[in-house]
Amino acid sequence: MVTLMMFNSMKPYYMLILLCSSCSVEKYYPNTTIEQRPIDVSALQPCDWHTLQPSETTMLEGLHEINIQVQTPIEEVKDDILLQLDWDDGIARGTHSKKTIQDVVLTTGEDGAQFEIMYEPMKGFQETLGVWLNWNGTNPVPLSDFQLNEIGNINLNPDGAIAYRIHQDLSVQHKGVAFVVCGIGGMQYASRQLGNALLEDGWTVAYLFSVITTPDIGQNIPIEGTPESLIDLFNHKYCQLMSTAKAIQSKLNITDSNQFVLIGISAGALNTPAIYEALPVKPECVVLIAGGANMAEIVQEGAVTNWDFVVDGVFLTHEQRRTLNDQYITHFSRDPYHLSALLPHKKTLLLHAKWDKIVPAENGDLLWEQSGRTERWVYPSGHLGLFATFHNHAHKIVDWIKYKLQQ
């Protein structure tokens, strides 16, 4: 028997979440007469990654650790990924997962490098843990660092890295591939609920972790004070996720749009329009959950970011911040403000929390407007309330996808 304990001060909030989960959702349907606006993406700043020679190498024998330390544009934020293996009688297992490992494969190609740890199937499920990584064009790729050192470790310092997982239920008929771009914390409750519903329906699910390490709330972020410097800052994350998604699409041999869907959750939703634009094979359906437009505003006003931009050690005044935000949004970039108009108008669904303070509700409204007012479901809750009740929403989203794929 398990007893759940909570502080008395939390009980009213918890009860409010439960009550609101049963409240009616506001649904807005797309205007089917609207024609999508043509957008010239040729002006977008290119992602400056190396193209590597195509190769595929088994790395399992003798491997103990893959240690990846990412050089991020924000010096105070360190993105570290550590993959560790334990060996027992010639059998490799994940140090933390304790799962038996079938193989570890290093793949290189046009979109960079990928390490993939493939676990033995368990109870009909196949799971792969992967990491995409690359170096920007000004830094040479240290190919020798991909080799095991004398103690069986691989140590790398790339300019970008994204972790991901691929899950497949081998007991059901394969329907296609769903990319779920997770928010802060990776595979949290909402991602798992949605992923499980997709797996039950026959989808292979690739979870892309959009955030490894987040700056502290209220972090001071040094910039040059120009809209271009903000675009560069956000582009670093966009380009990592775009290249990861392209590499996974190639690896999984996704060639049919009707067997491919793209879903973004919270911080993942902020990156999803950029991923959509970059993919060679476009998904048939797109779902953005608790997303928004205008990243400059979101990271400054959002309750879990609340960044302060600093120029030459000096905080921007309120007037300077407002001017910079206005300049930023008028410059064409990969911000959802601009690229959400590319999403398939009749087959895009937005889910929002009416009182969201983490991705501010106003920025969610802006995303809806910029997307051309696609279908939208608005829930009477805040950001956390929406995700705490996601067991009520996951199967409805999967049903919506099934319906749209039949049209």
Instruction: Give the per-residue pLDDT at 23.
Output: 61
Model's pTM, two decimal places? Answer: 0.92
CA 397 vs. chain centroid, Å, equals 18
pLDDT (average), residues 162-190? 93
The per-residue pLDDT for range 56-93, each reduced to its tens digit, is 999 999 999 999 999 887 776 778 999 999 999 999 99
The single residue listed with the structure tokens 């902020």 is 270
Buried b or exposed e, range 117-146, using 16+ CB within 10 angstroms: bbbeeeeeebbbbbbbbbbeeeeebeeeeb
Are residues 334 and 39 in contact, defined by beta-carbon separation less than 8 angstroms? no
The angle that helices 318-330 and 227-251 make with each other, rounded to 10 degrees, is 50
Q: For residues 301 and 143, give the distance between their C-alpha atoms in angstroms, rounded to a whole number.
A: 42
Strand-pairing partners, residue 58, are 105
The per-residue pLDDT for range 3-42, each reduced to its tens digit, is 333 334 444 444 444 445 446 899 999 977 777 778 899 9
CATH H-level, domain 41-405: superfamily: Alpha/Beta hydrolase fold, catalytic domain (3.40.50.1820)
pLDDT (average), residues 367-374? 96
Residues with Cβ within 8 Å of 47's Cβ and at least 6 positions away in sequence, in order, are: 235, 238, 239, 242, 243
Mean pLDDT score across all residues of the chain: 91
Which alpha helices (H) appear in 147-188, and where do they start and end?
Answer: none
- Report the percentage of the chain scoring pLDDT > 90: 80
The per-residue pLDDT for range 201-245, each reduced to its tens digit, is 999 999 999 987 777 788 889 999 999 999 999 999 999 999 999
Count CB-CB contacts under 10 A for residue 72.
Answer: 18
Are residues 381 and 20 in contact, defined by beta-carbon separation less than 8 angstroms? yes
Q: For residues 289 and 269, give the distance between their C-alpha atoms in angstroms, rounded to a whole number.
A: 6
The DSSP line for 238-260 is HHHHHHHHHHHHHHTT---GGGE
Instruction: Give the per-residue pLDDT at 18.
Output: 47
**Count, residues in the chain:** 407
pLDDT (average), residues 180-187? 90
The residue extents of the domains of the chain are 41-405
pLDDT (average), residues 255-271? 95
Instruction: Give the per-residue pLDDT at 5.
Output: 35
- Among 105-119, 137-151, 188-202, the minimum mean pLDDT is found in 137-151
The per-residue pLDDT for range 311-357, each reduced to its tens digit, is 999 999 999 999 999 999 999 999 999 999 999 999 999 999 999 99
Instruction: Give the per-residue pLDDT at 116.
Output: 98
269: left (phi over 0), alpha (psi -120 to 50) or beta: alpha
Strand 112-119 with 101-109, pairing: antiparallel
